[in-house]
A and B are shown apart, each in its own frame.
Chain A
Amino acid sequence: MKKSPASKSKLSIGPLLFNWSADKVRDFYYKIADEAPVDYVYVGEVVCSKRAYGKDYLPDVIERLEKAGKTVIISGLSLIMDDRDAKMDKDNTELAADYLIEANDLSTIGLLSGKDHAIGPFVNIYNEAALNYFEAKGAKRISLPHELSAHSLKALSKAAVSSELEVQVFGRLPLAISARCYHARANNLNKSGCQYVCDRDADGLTVDTTDGVPFLVINGLQTMSYTYCNLMAELKDLTAMGINNFRLSPHDVDMVKISNLYRQCLDGKITASEATFVLEDDVFNAEFSNGFYHGKPGLEQVDI
């Protein structure tokens, strides 16, 4: 599938946030490499350093993605607490000569300072001063925090000097990270003896209120939104404010089809409502939200 040369906007597949089996991950990225109309693919473990143990598919995956013409970016951990976390992150940064590394913690930015790098949504960049500070340190791609409203995104886009800004437009939103593993806790285990139970829920484990209202999902150390962020209808606005990079966060659904819908919408081949209609009807049944963008509670869906 070729992307329209007219469009400046780029699509990316964000780092896989869930603990899928090695085979499933490999199949997923091979399919993305071969079929998805995306420009960038982020790989690497963001949530929990324990998960990376014994998984050696990354070189194969990267090779396949690069062969297919995708630019690979390696994402780092979002919470670095002990030596194991720190080592994993340091190992990542040693690849900085060959790949763009996405830092999700200040320590990683320290290690990458002076070299071109990317910054992920877990680094708190809420204003122009912070943005320009990180640009001066070598940040070339910045994926902005999820709770920012259109007002803030617009101001940041205006202030960006030497970096490209990215916004997540599809997928559940990471809301919090903890030292405590909630997946283990929900299974009566603790983190040190977690038995990797987070591999049981490919899109996270749903959390309901006692009235039976689902509103969060847990994903190991991470807590996420139950609703899937969908900014299809806001793409036009975003491009108008000068934001041209859009992140699709991977889920256990047909991500190729989803990338196609966003691509077609960006290229003006279908309207946002048509694309969302197909998304809701054809791809999977989920609750969508765009509240953060509109300065409202994140779980809300504002129809525009």
Chain B
Amino acid sequence: MNKKPELVCPAGTPAALRIAVIAGADAVYLGLCDQTNARNFPGLNFSEEELAQGVDFAHERGVKVLLAVNTYAKAGDNKPWIKAIDIAARLKIDAVILADVGLLDYAHRTYPDLRLHLSVQAAASNAASINFYAKEFNVRRVVLPRVLSVDEIKAINEKIKVETEVLAFGGMCPMAEGHCSMSSYVTGQSPNKDGICSPPSHVTYEQLGTRLATKLAGLTINNFEEHEQVGYPTLCKGRFMANNRTGYLFESPTSLNIMTILPELIDAGVSAFKIEGRQRSKAYIKAVVENFRKAVDAAAEGRKLIIPMDHLYEGGEDTVGAYKKDWS
């Protein structure tokens, strides 16, 4: 019998942390105000003091806190990353989410009791990789990249001993995470180095009559007609031309949502479900966490509960992505 899966929720700000905890998170994940985490957006994240307060608030209510230090430390200047891991150990964070082998090595050697999770940014997409991280750094849980089907996840879980966590709701990254430099190719800033993809500093919206053009570093990413839902100009969710056709070549503006296949994923041995969206508002966090709390509880009892969240989907659409084989 599987253990009841954990609901891991985003906390981009102290207020979002409180909302997520109250709305039913089993764990919240968050980052510090710098390039050490993969949601390095302006105005977001935690100072060391806010982090300490957040940990108290969560722990008093029996909720775990996971610190994401999931970018790759810079050569010649790894201090911010080392500092983040040291803070995690000092504040009794429940686990640190890492991707960089150098940092995994440091954390494992320096703080053998600190629980380590492997970030989705490491894109460990097969059992042998996962076993490597488990053996070398005593990684206890792996967040799987959004490229695997339910069957592949099941096959992986049969060959590994550590826990797996999957992305359940929110951003729909069609590329293997941690191996994408499309953003830095166009803007100079990347998820791996800078903790940011398609940075807002390079985004412009242009209203052209009834059409809204969204641009990134001057390149047109999309054109929305008046009747269409708008999407943020993330590079891989743009409308482009190839083979004389224009369309969503990589992925359409859409939200990942696995509510319909929660029981299958639990069956495949998944231990935790992660809601993406540290950059989203409190109102969003509240709605998504409350709904997923109900759905995960139902799924753990073998029931399928589907709560529509149309108004929260990017582009007004949702998808189960690569979890179903026909996506690829």
Contact = CB atoms under 8 A, between A and B. Distances in A.
> Is there a direct interface between A and B, measured as CB atoms under 8 Å apart in the complex?
yes
Interface of A: 78-83, 85-86, 105-107, 109-111, 122, 124-134, 145-148, 151-156, 159, 173, 175-182, 185-187, 190-192, 205-213, 215-216, 218, 223, 225, 291-292, 295-299
Contacts of B239: 210
17 contacts: A81-B147, A85-B126, A124-B179, A127-B72, A130-B72, A133-B102, A147-B184, A176-B175, A176-B179, A177-B175, A178-B176, A179-B327, A180-B250, A186-B249, A223-B182, A291-B185, A292-B185
A208 B221 CA distance: 10
B240 A124 contact: no
A155 B76 contact: yes
Contacts of A125: 101
Interface in B33-70: none
A175 B125 contact: no
B188 A79 contact: no
Interface stretch (B127-135, B273-281, B299-307): B127-135
Which 8 residue pairs of A and B lie closest in terms of their CB atoms, listed nearest first? A129-B102, A107-B128, A179-B147, A155-B76, A126-B72, A155-B75, A298-B185, A130-B102
A295 B75 CA distance: 13
A80 B129 contact: yes
A79 B125 contact: yes
A156 B74 CA distance: 10
Nearest to A179: B147
Nearest to A108: B128
A184 to B, nearest CB: 8
B66 to A, nearest CB: 21
Contacts of A128: 75-76, 78, 102
Contact of B126 (A107, A155, A175, A186): A107
Interface of B: 72-76, 78, 99-103, 105-106, 122-129, 131-133, 135, 147-148, 152, 155, 174-176, 178-182, 184-188, 190, 192-193, 217, 219-223, 236, 238-243, 245-246, 249-251, 322, 325-328
Contacts of B128: 80, 86, 106-107, 110-111
B94 to A, nearest CB: 24
A145 B180 CA distance: 11
B241 A210 contact: yes
Main secondary structure, interface of A, reads mixed
B214 to A, nearest CB: 11
A111 B176 CA distance: 22
Contacts of B129: 80, 105-107, 110
Given A129-B106, A191-B328, A206 B242 contact: yes
A286 B122 CA distance: 33
B273 to A, nearest CB: 20
Contacts of A122: 179
B83 to A, nearest CB: 14
A129 B220 contact: no
A151 B75 contact: yes
Contact of A129 (B73, B179, B217): B73
A51 to B, nearest CB: 15
B304 to A, nearest CB: 25
Nearest to B222: A210
Contact of A86 (B126, B223, B327): B126
A78 B147 CA distance: 13
Contacts of A146: 181
B152 A127 contact: no
Given A106-B124, A179-B322, A182-B249, A291 B188 contact: yes
A298 B181 contact: yes
Contacts of A132: 102
Given A151-B75, A180-B251, 7 more contacts: A105-B125, A133-B102, A147-B190, A153-B75, A175-B185, A215-B219, A296-B188
Contacts of B249: 182, 185-186, 207, 218
Given A127-B102, A176-B182, A298-B184, A151 B126 contact: no
Nearest to B325: A192
B241 A133 contact: no
A134 B221 CA distance: 38
B182 A151 contact: no
A154 B325 CA distance: 43
Given A128-B102, A223-B182, A297-B185, A209 B175 contact: no
A110 B221 CA distance: 40
B197 to A, nearest CB: 11
Contacts of A181: 328
Nearest to A151: B76
A185 to B, nearest CB: 7
A213 to B, nearest CB: 6
Given A208-B240, A208-B242, A223-B175, A130 B100 contact: yes
Given A79-B176, A175-B180, A215 B186 contact: yes
